[in-house]
Each structure stands twice: as C-alpha cells, then as structure tokens.
Amino acid sequence: MVPPALVFGGVTVASIALHLRDPHHHLSWGECPSYALFGVYCPGCGGLRAVNDLTNLQLGAAASSNLLFICSLPFIAYFFARWVHGRWSGERWQLPAYAANAGVGIAAVVTVAFTILRNTQYGAWLAP
C-alpha cells in the first residue's frame, strides 16, 4: 500500500500548496512554456487554477479553467481506486490489451482535439 499512499500524499500536498498560493495571480507559479514560447494554450494550461478552484469548492470556475482536466477526474479516481483495491486485496487488475490501447487512443484524440479547439476562435471559451 506504500505506492498508492505516496501518490495520494503527493497529490494532497500539491493541492494544499495550490490552495495556499493562488495560481490565479499572474506568474505566481510561473508561466506555461508552450504559451510563453508560442502563444499556444497546451492541454494542461489552466490546470493549476482548476485545482485551486476545486480546493475552494468552485466547480464552475474549475471547469472554466480547464474543462479537460475536470472531465478526466472521474477516470483518474476510478483507476486510482482500482489500483488501491488491487494492492489491498492482492488481486492484480489487468486491462485487456485492446481496452488499454483503445483508451490511450481515445484519450490522445480527445486531448489533441481539445488543444486545437481551445486555440481557435470557436473554442475560445475553453481557453483558461
């Protein structure tokens, strides 16, 4: 159970840090390299602000900061729960190869589409 506990602890510490030092203040956590160099919002842009908004219980503001991140949280929670259950029970959970490949492919397509859309005039509402 040590690896899941370390991941949970790391996420908790990072969330507390983002709650205490508000990333909504310009350059409080630095600037995204893709935005600084190319003026393009990457799929992670707004993620720190989204975590801060979640720690302040502002789901709408979090979705406005990074909708892709917010939509991915149920999947992240599910896979983390499966990992913890497997460690606790000793039953290793293996996704079938076709399911893992399909999941990675779908996630990649959605991420690329999100990134392209948020950098167009039609998807400006997705920009952080």
Which pLDDT tens digit goes with each residue over 90-99? 888 888 899 8
Which pLDDT does position 69 carry in this prediction? 96
Side-chain half-sphere CA neighbours of 68 within 13 A: 25
Q: Domain of 44? A: 2-126
| pLDDT of 112 above 90 | yes
Total number of domains constituting the chain: 1
The residue type found at 108 is A
pLDDT-based confidence at residue 63 (cuts at 50, 70, 90): very high
Instruction: For residue range 1-58, list pLDDT tens digits in order.
Output: 888 899 999 999 999 999 999 898 888 888 889 999 999 999 999 999 999 999 999 9
pLDDT at 109: 97
Taking the whole predicted model, whether its pTM rises above 0.75 is answered as yes
